[in-house]
Every structure is written in C-alpha cells, then in structure tokens.
Amino acid sequence: EAAVTQSPRNKVAVTGGKVTLSCNQTNNHNNMYWYRQDTGHGLRLIHYSYGAGSTEKGDIPDGYKASRPSQENFSLILELATPSQTSVYFCASGDRDRVPERLFFGHGTKLSVL
Amino acid sequence: GDSVIQMQGQVTLSENDFLFINCTYSTTGYPTLFWYVQYSGEGPQLLLQVTTANNKGSSRGFEATYDKGTTSFHLQKTSVQEIDSAVYYCAMRERGNSGTYQRFGTGTKLQVVP
C-alpha cells in the first residue's frame, strides 16, 4: 500500500515566523503535491513537483515556497507565516506513468498561526 | 477559468436512503474525472474515476456517470449506510506546465443517521 507521511501532524506558529511542513513518500512516485483544505474552499493546490529538483506553482502559491530535494521528500515553506495560513495541509503523491493518475494523500498537518 | 462545482455543502440522510451528490465541471475537452472520499481524521482517498465521456465508474456500491452533454459527474448510491458518512470530493484532471494535476471541488459532507 502506498505510503505518504507528513510531519508534524499539528503545528502552532507565531505570526511572522518560519514554518516548514515536511512530506515523505515511499511509493517511488514522480509527482508530489501540496494542497490546503478550508471549509467552503475544499482542496486548493499550492505547489507541485514532477521530480527531484522541480517545483511548479499551483492555484494559490503566494506566501508559500516548495522544495523537492529528492524523489521521496517534498517540503512546503512559509517564510513569514500569517493567520490567514491557518489551515489543514495535505501532501499527495502520484505516478505520472499511470493513466489516469491516482493520488495518495497523507493524513494532513493542522497548522495554526497565532 | 477551469472549475469544479459542488453545490451541496452538506447532505444528511437516513440509513438505506438514496444518495445523490452533484458535481459539474468547466473546462475544454473531456478531462478524466474522479471522486475522492475523506473519512474523519484521514486524508482523501480515491473512490472512483472515469476517463471517457459518457462512461460510468463504480466502486463499493457508488456509481458516477460522465455526462459530457451537461458537463456533470454526479455521485449516486442506492442505499447508504452509517459508515458512508464522510466528505466527498469531485476532482478533474488538469494540464500543468510539465504534466498534470487534479483540481478539486469544495466537497460535500455526508452524514448518515441510523
């Protein structure tokens, strides 16, 4: 079974602080994604990556950076966290060679910015 | 721009009721369409997918038909059970700069009461 692990599961940050959310997948998938989940908005794509060293902007990239140092790891970075970034963040991986691509999600990281 | 619309934010049913969750999409062509289910405390997981217009997908008693005429992909189940209580997301495959990603709707929370 595909495995996507996010850390931390919960995070409380202060406004203006730096936050790094980590994601590790053992599926050997090329593609990885970061979504945020908010009531009334559903899941919105922040950044994604098609392989190590690559990142692409999604629909709501402002205020976020992403890093894909290896096939297995994909991080989401909030350089200057704001209360509007309080949300639940989900990482997902997918196999680009499988059509259609099925996404495997982690359990999510609940971030509160005070 | 492209979009996936779920008008129902919440649906409450009794066990053995018929389920209908609507989803419409807006884009060019005939994208692959998905339904994901998210149980409490977990990440979303794939429920079913359909790649070709006017085809049907089914899984675990759920069914969805891809209707290119009305650009809809509604989810149905004849008889819901309490264990079906979850959030259901409709999603659409989109083309990015170097590959594809999935655009999600706002989600429909299903509560099934005994």
**What is the phi-psi region of residue A108: left when phi exceeds 0, alpha when psi lies from -120 to 50, beta otherwise?**
left
**Shortest Cα distance, chain B CAs vs residue A59, angstroms:** 9
Give the phi and the psi of residue A84 in degrees, each rounded to 5: -70, -10
Total beta-carbon pairs less than 8 A apart between chain A and chain B = 63
Contact A56, A44 (CB under 8 A): no
Q: What is the mean pLDDT of residues B29-43?
A: 94
Candidates B46, B102, B108, partner chain A, best to mutate (most A CBs within 10 A): B102
Sign, CA torsion A83/A107/B104/A73: positive
Three-class secondary structure of residue B22 per DSSP: coil
Q: Which positions in chain B touch A92 (Cβ < 8 Å)?
A: 43
pLDDT above 80 (res A1)? no
Report pLDDT digits (tens) over A19-33. Answer: 999 999 999 999 999
Candidates A33, A43, A91, partner chain B, best to mutate (most B CBs within 10 A): A43
Under the banding of pLDDT at 50, 70 and 90, the label for residue A112 is very high
**Shortest Cα distance, chain B CAs vs residue A17, angstroms:** 27
Name the percent of chain A lying above pLDDT 70: 98
A44 touches chain B (CB under 8 A): yes
Report pLDDT digits (tens) over A37-75. Answer: 999 999 999 999 999 999 999 999 999 999 999 999 999
Contact B101, A33 (CB under 8 A): yes
Note the pLDDT of residue A89: 98
Q: In this complex, do B45 and A107 lie within 8 Å of one another by their Cβ atoms?
A: no
Residues in CB range of A19: below 8 A, 6 or more apart:
A11, A13, A77, A78, A81, A85, A111, A113
A113 touches chain B (CB under 8 A): no
Contact B67, B77 (CB under 8 A): no
Three-class secondary structure of residue A65 per DSSP: strand
Nearest CB to A100: which of B41, B49, B99? B49
**What is the phi-psi region of residue A103: left when phi exceeds 0, alpha when psi lies from -120 to 50, beta otherwise?**
beta
